[in-house]
Structure 1
């Protein structure tokens, strides 16, 4: 991973909803795997990002569309445990087929099994304990690992305990794991814990099993001021929002705030100077191909 920059996609769900007019139940994209039209839409979406990776000579971290196909949200949507397993397996097969297609990036692709938070990351009704999180996420992590992902990434995680539980589940499944926290506008997790403390706690509780950490679903302005200390060396991924709005404001928004792609790319370039281990660059809510393309142009060649 350290030899090159790896791009990812942008905000899949916000792109589908606001740009493509697709209705997603509970913000879940995996239902598109159920028919040929949906799979074609997903294929076209990721193919454009793979083209950006080829253009810039970057690797590509290809996500499975499983952010909301864990036990928690899968159950809310109405799926049985066996149906949830099947969704996760199908998502890996879809990603693996795309990774081996003619559209693949020449610098390499990693198939990334995405694990989302058990509840609402921005306004959880309660926080899981470590043991509860390991139990809640364990089956999905095991299913993704058995289906053949290269790594598992827990994204939009709001508490250290949930990140630790997912990391422990990955350890038991013998699959590399990334834990990506989301922060509020003050650079702290929704629990109030500083980002650096959450990473340090996760490190201590997992014996350093986490491959690297990430920050996602927050604008760089929200967390750049807190990036100081040795712990920052463990941040390997940033998937920021284009918008500077808070999570509460974004939840209430009826229109997409796409920000400025060039400005966001400049923010990423500044983050690379602060984060020596930063290698995986992509987007989150409100970002699309234009943002990732600008990030690739500004950051991949600068790193080389």
Structure 2
């Protein structure tokens, strides 16, 4: 089977989704222990909500003539978080495989005429805001290899590790993906100072992963930070900025500590956020994948598309 071209291999722009978990929690009112979305796919109302969420994103991609990076709802479907929720490895293997099947079904049913990439989503072993413990590269390779192997067997086009907080875990994911023979993307969480939660600059993190991984990731992304937090850390003409192909920004300017304490959703200003993506495109010459993270929804995606089209 011919491998589909990824965003960095084509001139096409790609849309991806937004703050799926915050939408489910704050907009739909679902109970989400451990902030995990994957258990909802086992419930009829959960499956209906997933379709309600993704169908307008297909419509946005079609309206704006973009491709679509379609994520699986598996950010928390890894062994440690699964154990917290009472799920063993056999159950998690089925969950990850079913998520790929569901994404393929949506591509078939809603994606006619669109270039849709099925993206197996990997979350961090720990908290996406606070790396309390850091694995070695070898530990991360073994840990995330479980989920990656299921994705590959299920037929994903790519895998992406989102909200990664530290360099060794990123390298481990990249090595596991290389061993499995699937393209991978690393997306780093950034703090309000534009650095990783472990303190490294984004430039150092990208450079180290590229230098030390068995095979370089296909590209890098930024997520779970507001553009104001990192735009000033993007120097012109630096080689490492050319490795950033996607951004999924937060709607809120709050710090991660502040967001953790929020009982109401800070959804920011969709129009303002859309305009900031246009500015980011001037700073990042290879930026082609546009989506959102905490607090964003279809309104933000619509404004992002409007700004990019302009």
* 8 A Cα contact 2:131 2:198, kept in partner: no
Moved over 3 A (4+): none
Q: Partner of 1:100: helix, strand, or coil?
A: helix
Q: Aligned residue for 1:233?
A: 242
Q: Aligned residue for 1:115?
A: 122
Farther off after superposition, 104-113 or 74-83:
104-113
Equivalent position to 1:21, from 4, 8, 29? 29
Residue 187 of structure 1: how far off its partner (Å)? 0.6
Q: Aligned residue for 2:3?
A: none
* 8 A Cα contact 1:60 1:105, kept in partner: no
Residue 207 of structure 1: how far off its partner (Å)? 5.2
Unpaired runs of at least 5, structure 2: 1-6
- The correspondence of residues 1-304 of structure 1 with structure 2, limited to 5 A, is 1=7, 2-101=10-109, 103-104=110-111, 106-206=113-213, 208-228=215-235, 229-299=238-308, 301-302=309-310
In the TM superposition, what whole-angstrom CA distance separates every residue of 1:125-146 from its partner, at most 9, and x where no partner exists?
Answer: 2111111111111110111111
* 8 A Cα contact 1:53 1:105, kept in partner: no
Q: Partner of 1:37: helix, strand, or coil?
A: helix
**How far apart in 2 are the matches of 1:122 and 1:217?**
9
Length-normalised TM-score, structure 1 = 0.97
Residue 107 of structure 1: how far off its partner (Å)? 3.2
> Cα–Cα, structure 1 residues 6 and 14, in superposed 2: closer, same or farther, change >3 Å?
same
Residue 38 of structure 1: how far off its partner (Å)? 1.6
* 8 A Cα contact 1:133 1:162, kept in partner: yes
* 8 A Cα contact 1:30 1:65, kept in partner: yes
Q: Partner of 2:186: helix, strand, or coil?
A: strand
**How far apart in 2 are the matches of 1:127 and 1:254?**
29
Q: Partner of 2:128: helix, strand, or coil?
A: coil
Residue 208 of structure 1: how far off its partner (Å)? 4.8
Unpaired runs of at least 5, structure 1: none
In the TM superposition, what whole-angstrom CA distance separates every residue of 1:72-130 from its partner, at most 9, and x where no partner exists?
Answer: 211211111111100000100000100111x2163310010000000112122211111
**What is the CA RMSD across the aligned residues, in angstroms?**
1.0
